[in-house]
Amino acid sequence: MDPITIFIIIVGVLFTSFLFFVEDAFEKLIEHVLSLFGLRSHCGPLHVTAKEGNESVEITIQNEGSSPAKFATIQAKDTSGNPFYPIPYLQDRQWKDSSGEKAQSQLRKNFVKEKLSSGASLTVYVNKAELGEIKANDLYLMDAHGKVWPIISQQS
């Protein structure tokens, strides 16, 4: 092997090692390019508020970020701290028309399919009977990337 080939291999290995060890810097470098094609690796910030009504908790999600947001689920914590996932409804009192496991599965899929563009807001409802003793302060929104956003309770 000639010295130029060895030099190119060493530079390639060093460059690859550098990228491996500074993953955050590499992620920020390619994030801008990916955002041009709508392939951002994260969303947010999200501002999430909740108002408790008689039969439901109204959750308003506001995307304050520069990229679209996709959601995974609404998470609640029961009194012992265990996670619980209530069904998010896109219309108020929709739970009256949706009984059965198949209908509930479809409702969860509909929520996951929602894509909230930058500056837009979305209102989602959770059946208060499903929550039991859990209050709006104990609810969280999980985005498609696994980030948890606290839901701030507002008095109606």
- With respect to residue 41, please indicate whether it lies within any of the assigned structural domains: no
Whether 156 shows a pLDDT value over 60: the answer reads no
In terms of domains, do 31 and 50 share one? no
Q: Tell me, yes or no, whether 82 and 58 share the same domain.
A: yes
Number of other residues whose CB lies within 10 A of the CB of residue 26: 13
Exposure of 38 in the CB half-sphere (CA atoms within 13 A): 7
Highest-confidence range of 5-9, 22-26, 95-99, by mean pLDDT? 5-9
pTM of the model: 0.68
Residue 28 φ/ψ, nearest 5 degrees: -65, -35
Q: Kindly state whether residues 135 and 98 are assigned to the same domain.
A: yes
Query: 13 and 82 share a domain?
Result: no
CATH code assigned at 70: 2.60.40
71/115 same-domain check: yes
Percent of the chain having pLDDT more than 70?
Answer: 80
Within this chain, do residues 129 and 58 fall inside the same structural domain, yes or no?
yes
84 shares a domain with 53: yes
User: Tell me, what's the pLDDT at 113?
Assistant: 87
Could you list the residue range(s) of the whole structural domain that residue 62 is in? 46-154
In this prediction, residues 123-127 reach a mean pLDDT of 90
Q: In terms of pLDDT, which residue wins out, 17 or 49?
A: 49
Q: What pLDDT shows up at residue 28?
A: 67
Domain identity same for 86 and 23: no
Q: Are residues 119 and 52 in the same domain?
A: yes
Asked if residue 80 and residue 19 are part of one domain, the reply reads no
Mean pLDDT comparison of 38-42, 43-47, 116-120, highest-scoring range = 116-120
Predicted pLDDT at 80: 83
Total structural domains within the chain: 2
Cβ atoms of residues 122 and 61 within 8 Å: yes
Task: Say if residue 15 is in the same domain as residue 50.
Answer: no
DSSP code at position 67: S
